[in-house]
Amino acid sequence: MSENILVIGGGPAGLNAAIMLSELGVNVALVERDSFLGGNPKKFKYKFLFPDMQPADNVIGELIKKAESGGNIKVYYSSEVSDFKENGKKFDAVIKSASGSETKTFDSVIVATGFEHFDPARDAKYSYQLFDDVIDIKDLERMMGENNFVRPSNGKPPKKVAFILCVGSRDRHVGNQYCSRVCCTVSVKQAIEMREHFPDCEAYIFYMDIRTYGFFEDLYWKAMEEHDVQIVKGRIAEITSGPDNTVVCKGEDTLLRGPFEIPFDMVVLASGMEGGPQSPEISSKLGIELDEHGFLKPENVTLSPFKSNKPGVFLAGACTGPKAISDSITEGAAAAMNAYTYAVKNR
């Protein structure tokens, strides 16, 4: 008899966990809240991934294809775990979907419920939703993905675009003190992408610190040296409307200009990552710990970042904190190995 393992969440981490377990011969129930697999990268149509600018479809599309091509994975679309109980060392879960509820016993569980993009409308100084030409990284990603890079206000191509980092991150006012880790690299990637495809369009990046960690630093240097992206140190204090249908960024260039007010055709806010409403929900449903940032808390952040505080329940991907897609895929595999070991031991 083969093992039964529940995977909650069909983003990069959950998909990779499900695929690896399936290859080990485990029966996997993959519970996905949306009507499709792929998580946020699919939902917001990410087009190219850093650092090598490969099409997102090469990664996300591949994972989805593998998960959907049968094997031992049963995908429950538009569904949720509505009830969850411990049963000795195993777990009884009720999976609720459009076609009804199904109760099953699982040997172990992997939680890969991911993150939500910060909603920039929550920070009024950026005037998101007030001005059409103020968008955020996920909006731009979708625009690029749909080959529709124009100013939302008038449908014309922009000539000058600002990228603003740390929106919804590292800010006590919005309740997120942490760094969202990938937004710097994503913004630099987007600026390069924009300069490559629309060389007439100037790009400015306003930053507090540029955190293109590890080898992502290459992109940062490339943006300056090959694509003439203007990198300005200073957080934006206010976005107002300017003459000729522009949006004006007001701030202090703490290194060079001093105070500035620069008009742009378009502003892209690098909104960060949040645990979203799903994290506290799954935390109370499964009886696993939530951390002070609103993400799920690993048992030991260094030794076992993929374990929850409850034996048999494992964590993978951005549900434990802001993370790049590659890290989520790695954690999916790590959680799969641990969930499998737990299942086999307690068979």
Binding site for other proteins (CB under 8 A): 125, 166, 170-173, 208-209, 233-238, 250-254, 259
* Minimum CB distance to other proteins smaller for 165 or for 223: 165
Nearest residue to 273 (alpha-carbon basis) of 127, 344, 169:
169
Please, what is the minimum distance in Å from the beta carbon of residue 9 to other proteins? 31
The rounded distance, in Å, linking the Cα atoms of 339 and 342 is 5
User: Residue 39 is inside which H or E element, if any?
Assistant: helix 39-43
Helix, strand, coil shares of the chain, percent, nearest 5, are 30, 30, 35
First-to-last C-alpha distance (Å) of the chain: 9
* Minimum CB distance to other proteins smaller for 45 or for 250: 250
* Minimum CB distance to other proteins smaller for 82 or for 254: 254
Q: To 10 degrees, the CA torsion angle through 288, 289, 290, 296? A: -60
The rounded distance, in Å, linking the Cα atoms of 198 and 23 is 44
The rounded distance, in Å, linking the Cα atoms of 314 and 110 is 5
199: number of Cβ within 10 Å: 10
* Minimum CB distance to other proteins smaller for 114 or for 251: 251
Please, what is the minimum distance in Å from the beta carbon of residue 165 to other proteins? 10
Please, what is the minimum distance in Å from the beta carbon of residue 249 to other proteins? 9
Please, what is the minimum distance in Å from the beta carbon of residue 89 to other proteins? 45
* Minimum CB distance to other proteins smaller for 218 or for 261: 261
Please, what is the minimum distance in Å from the beta carbon of residue 64 to other proteins? 38
Please, what is the minimum distance in Å from the beta carbon of residue 211 to other proteins? 12
* Minimum CB distance to other proteins smaller for 156 or for 257: 257
Contact between 110 and 287 (Cβ < 8 Å): no
Contact between 107 and 126 (Cβ < 8 Å): no
